[in-house]
A and B are shown apart, each in its own frame.
Chain A
Amino acid sequence: MLDKIGIAKRIAREVRDGMYINLGIGIPTLVANYIPSSINVVLQSENGLLGIGPFPTEAEVDPDLINAGKQTITMMPGSALFSSAESFAMIRSGKVDLTILGAMEVSEQGDIANWKVPGKMVKGMGGAMDLVASAKHIIVAMQHCSKDGASKLLPSCTLPITGLRCVKRIVSDMAVVDILPGGGFKLLERAPGVTVDDIKKATAGKLIVEGEIPEMTL
């Protein structure tokens, strides 16, 4: 099983040179720490920045520079600033190559639910619905099962939907799976110490297993 850092490290291996990437809050934000320095990417912050840099030192803290999680940040050389309308224009028009975000549930059709739990205070969807509706490639970072053991990879989502048929790949604490265009979770890799049987038991939706499934390398 992978911990959060393991999931972030595995997702970092999906990153290619030259990509523009939007990272969601939580595990996706950690991915930035594990992108090899030989790969040049530009991180987009939907509140109006291309080129997110490292967190600032105490002396560098600037209240006019935050990321979408409202954390203080710095800018990389070559950064650009813009309005929220322009930010979502570049998202909607498919200029952002990769979106990495968390999810509460994903269906075997690639539907994602990640913004609202009935009975809990609804905080809002923020930019998630815009991102999932338009991104060219979406990777979801998530736990395979809830704390009480219920699968989060389902035939169809039970929670309110954030977007339909949009998720292409999931990296969970147990596995890497692709969502096939015709539906179904195609198992690609196992987490260290996890068997195909474990993954079958933990996946409520249709799991497709073909041939030997390699253990993932981080």
Chain B
Amino acid sequence: MINKVVADADEAVRDIPDQAVLMLGGFGLCGIPENAIAALLRKGVKGLTCISNNAGVDDFGIGLMLKTRQVKKMISSYVGENAEFERQLLSGELEVELIPQGTLAERVRAGGAGIPAFFTPAGVGTEVAAGKETRDFDGKTYLMERWLRADFSLVKAWKGDTAGNLIYRGTARNFNPMMAAAGKVTIAEVEELVPVGQLDPNDIHTPGIYVHRIFQGRGYEKRIEQRTTRKS
């Protein structure tokens, strides 16, 4: 089997240049590539375009890279929980493209599936449709949306093997599988890295063909945004 293992996050992101287009998995702070983000902070790479459903919070996730002004543009569906984000947006330092969440997921999926465009009903008649082709199918109007692809995709999985096969856990799967497929170079970090043969092939969510580099992450914080509990 091909061995995709790199030593750590710093080695994994070593060649990400300024102005790179990145995809980062996660929904809110759930399933985000914590270690790769920390390595990008250390590396200090700038002018990044980040495709990610959300933009983290002020002191965690992509929010950390906003604070250090490493992000030029965000492509997201919802960016609500971040004061520094708001400041940079209002001052014009940060460019933002907002995309309906299902359209974002499908544009990334299309990018990883070799499909340059597709038609969706989401956004018809809204400002999202501005400048886009529409077409009627069976009496309903649809909007043409293009694929999204990235120079580097940074994904987070629960378990992975040295061949790059990945298994996600819970709702931490979210955008990670599509982003893994849509990166020219895909970097996966996992909580548990095992030798080939230890994962049941029936259980694999992302086949190793999509993953170029894999490493075992360290010190996962897995921060919770809205800790909501019941008494008993």
Which positions in A face B, CB cutoff 8 Å?
A: 45-49, 54-58, 60-73, 81-85, 87-89, 91-92, 111, 121-130, 133-134, 160-164
Smallest distance from the beta carbon of A167 to chain B beta carbons, Å? Answer: 13
Closest 3 interchain pairs by CB? A88-B102, A130-B102, A64-B170
Smallest distance from the beta carbon of A53 to chain B beta carbons, Å? Answer: 10
Taking CB atoms, residues of chain B closer than 8 Å to A128 are: 100
Q: Report the bound CA distance from A78 to B94 in whole Å.
A: 43
Which positions in B face A, CB cutoff 8 Å?
A: 27-31, 53, 76-81, 86, 89-90, 98, 100-106, 108-109, 120-128, 158, 169-178, 222-232
A49 touches B78 (CB 8 A): no
Smallest distance from the beta carbon of B130 to chain A beta carbons, Å? Answer: 11
Smallest distance from the beta carbon of B104 to chain A beta carbons, Å? Answer: 8
B98 touches A64 (CB 8 A): no
B227 touches A72 (CB 8 A): yes
Known: A58-B229, A85-B178. 17 other contacts (CB 8 A): A49-B171, A64-B30, A64-B158, A66-B225, A71-B226, A72-B224, A72-B226, A84-B178, A85-B105, A123-B78, A125-B98, A126-B78, A127-B102, A129-B102, A133-B121, A133-B123, A160-B126
Smallest distance from the beta carbon of A34 to chain B beta carbons, Å? Answer: 16
Q: Report the bound CA distance from A125 to B128 in whole Å.
A: 10
Smallest distance from the beta carbon of B56 to chain A beta carbons, Å? Answer: 12
**Chain A residue at smallest Cβ distance from B222:** A63
Q: Interface SS of chain A: helix, strand, loop or mixed?
A: loop
A81 touches B171 (CB 8 A): yes
Smallest distance from the beta carbon of B89 to chain A beta carbons, Å? Answer: 7
**Contact A124 to B77, CB < 8 A, known contacts A57-B229, A84-B178:** yes
A129 touches B171 (CB 8 A): no
The listed residue (A45, A67, A71, A92) touching B120 by CB distance below 8 A is A92
Taking CB atoms, residues of chain B closer than 8 Å to A133 are: 120-124
Taking CB atoms, residues of chain A closer than 8 Å to B224 are: 61, 63, 66, 72
Taking CB atoms, residues of chain A closer than 8 Å to B178 are: 83-85
